Amino acid sequence: MTTVIEARGLSKSYRRTRALDRVSFAIQAGRIVGLIGPNGAGKTTALKAILGLTPFEGQLSVLGKDPYRERDALMQDVCFIADVAVLPKWLRVSQALEFVAGVHPKFERARAEEFLRNTDIRMQSRVRELSKGMVTQLHLALILAIDARLLVLDEPTLGLDLLYRRQFYDTLLNDYFDKERTILLTTHQVEEVEHLLTDVIFINHGHIALDSPVEGIAERYVQLTVRADQASRARELKPFYEREVFGRVAMFFEGRSAAELEALGEIRTPSIADLFVAKMQGVPA
Q: Are 113 and 97 in contact (CB under 8 A)?
A: yes
- What number of other Cβ atoms are within 10 A of residue 39's Cβ? 7
Q: Are 34 and 194 in contact (CB under 8 A)?
A: yes
Low-confidence ranges of the chain (pLDDT < 50): 284-285
pLDDT of amino acid 285: 41
Q: In terms of Cα–Cα distance, which of 26, 51, 49, 46 is closest to 36?
A: 46
- d(Cα 184, Cα 196) in Å, to the nearest integer? 12
- What domains are there in the chain, each with its CATH number? 31-45+67-197 (3.40.50.300), 216-281 (3.30.70)
- d(Cα 252, Cα 243) in Å, to the nearest integer? 9
pLDDT of amino acid 245: 83
Q: In terms of Cα–Cα distance, which of 183, 2, 218 is closest to 79?
A: 183
- d(Cα 39, Cα 216) in Å, to the nearest integer? 26
- d(Cα 147, Cα 143) in Å, to the nearest integer? 8
Q: What is the pTM for the complete model shown?
A: 0.88
Inter-axis angle of helices 93-103 and 132-144, to 10 degrees? 30
Give the β-pairing of 221-227 and 266-268: antiparallel
Strands of the sheet with 150-154, listed across from one edge = 78-81, 150-154, 182-186, 32-36, 199-204, 207-213
pLDDT of amino acid 267: 94
Q: What are 192-217's pLDDT values in tens digits?
A: 888 889 999 999 999 999 999 999 99
